[in-house]
Structure 1
Amino acid sequence: MTIYSFFIFDRHCNCIYNREFTQTSAAGVNNGLINKNNTSHSSKLLFGIIYSLKSLSAKLISENELTSFTLGQSFRFHFWESVTSYKFVVVTGYDVDDMQQVLVRLHQYFVDCVASNGLTPVEFKWSANGEKLDNVGYSVICNNSFVEETDQYLQSLSIY
């Protein structure tokens, strides 16, 4: 049981936050990457899979919504979408059950640290080729408080 990565997508289908976790045995030290794969094909493919499965499940079963799906016996993808169309995805091991409350809690950290921050842009803007528009780094979430709080919370879970 483990957590592999955490993604946030905005309402324009852009990956605005990506946290890869590297599991180590040295007293909780985490050497994972933050926002290094936001424009990669893997984040775009992940969003495409979620979008397609969400559309398909809505057409087949109107009462249920997509909350998780698995790929083989390796990974489980947990999905939650806010009212403002931000999509939160946590990739875990296959044997991890429902993570909806965890995703809601991660959304609360997002609201507290990012959305409530007056310096955060209203829209996360990208150029036509997928690169950041400015050098300040406002195109992705780079709020240290958000990164620290979400890391501490995820590492405190028994499945980490």
Structure 2
Amino acid sequence: MTIYSLYIYDRHCACVYYQDWHRTKQPKRAGEGGGILNAVSQAVSPLTTDSAAPTPSGFSSPRNTLSSTSGLVVAVGEDPVTSLPNPTEHARSNTLPFDEEAKLVYGVVLSLRNMVKKISGRDEQFTSYRTSSYRLHLYETVSGYKFIMLSDAATDGLRFILRQIYNGPFLEYVVRNPLVPMDSRSQGVDNDYFRASLDRLVRGLSVFN
């Protein structure tokens, strides 16, 4: 059993935060103008002209997903620059850009939630669904934030973990932090303390490994 990734959406249906752990097939970076907010994740944000410069963030992923190689080799006595295939981009060639992936995840959750309410005929909540390869877990707050986690298919329900993330690191470092804009429409959750605290919490779970 293990945990793959976490998405957080605001009440405007925008993905404001993303983090992954044991995901084997990484999403492509979002395209320019794809609609993804700034600072959702350095690993999937659109590349900029200064993306190769060191970031001021003190937190680095142990899987080193926040950096990429250029795929350029300089050889003496040969052509000045020889372009080689980037292994990271090759591995991502058959995956969706992150902006499209985030929309699909939200669309699936929204459709299933509406279907559950219509079929049940009462106020019943949609909390998770399982496929042969993964399980999706959902926790929605009264303010409209949706915490969505993808885990191994054999994992039990993790809604209580998502509630713990909201009541712990999210309230502490995002909601109660005056420097973090809420409902920005242009900025994601850009807080190193939140990212590090969330990472410690998830890695400490018995289902993580």
Q: TM-score of the superposition, structure 2-length normalised? A: 0.63
Structure 1: segments with no counterpart, 5+ residues = 127-138
Query: Residue type matched to 1:31 in 2?
Result: N
Match of 1:18 in 2: 18
Separation in 2 of the partners of 1:84 and 1:113? 17
Letter in 2 for 1:111: L
Paired residue type of 2:102: S
Of the three residues 176, 195, 202, the one matched with 1:147 is 195
How many pairs were matched up? Answer: 141
Go from structure 1 to structure 2 and tell me whether the alpha carbon gap of 1:22 and 1:99 turns closer, same or farther (over 3 Å shift): closer
* Structure 1 equivalent of residue 178 of structure 2: 118
CA distance in 1, matches of 2:22, 2:151: 12
- After superposition, the C-alpha distances for 1:64-108 in whole angstroms (9 at most, x for unaligned) are 21110123x101000010010000001000000111110101112
Structure 1 segments of 4 or more deviating over 6 A? none
Instruction: Give the aligned partner of residue 4 of structure 1.
Output: 4
**Does the 8 A contact of 2:5 with 2:23 survive in 1?**
no
Equivalent position to 1:31, from 56, 61, 64: 64
Contact 2:5 2:18 in 1 (8 A): yes
Give the whole-Å Cα distance in 1 for the aligned partners of 2:155 and 2:194.
24
Structure-2 change in CA distance of 1:79 and 1:59 (3 Å):
same
Question: For residues 11-160 of structure 1, what are the structure 2 equivalents within 5 Å?
Answer: 11-22=11-22, 29-32=62-65, 40-61=99-120, 62-71=122-131, 73-108=132-167, 109-126=169-186, 139-160=187-208
Instruction: Check whether the contact 2:2–2:22 (CA below 8 A) recurs between aligned residues.
Output: no
Match in the other structure for 1:134: none
1:63 shift after superposition:
4.0
Q: Is residue 6–residue 88 contact of structure 1 (8 Å, CA) maintained in 2?
A: yes
Structure 2 residue runs of 5 or longer lacking an equivalent are: 25-60, 67-95
CA contact (8 A) 1:19 1:32 kept: no
Aligned counterparts of 2:108 and 2:140: Cα–Cα separation in 1? 14
TM, length-normalised to structure 1? 0.81
Identity of aligned residues (%): 30
Greater relative CO (CA pairs within 8 A, separation 6+): 2
Q: Could you tell me which amino acid in structure 1 is paired with residue 170 of structure 2?
A: F
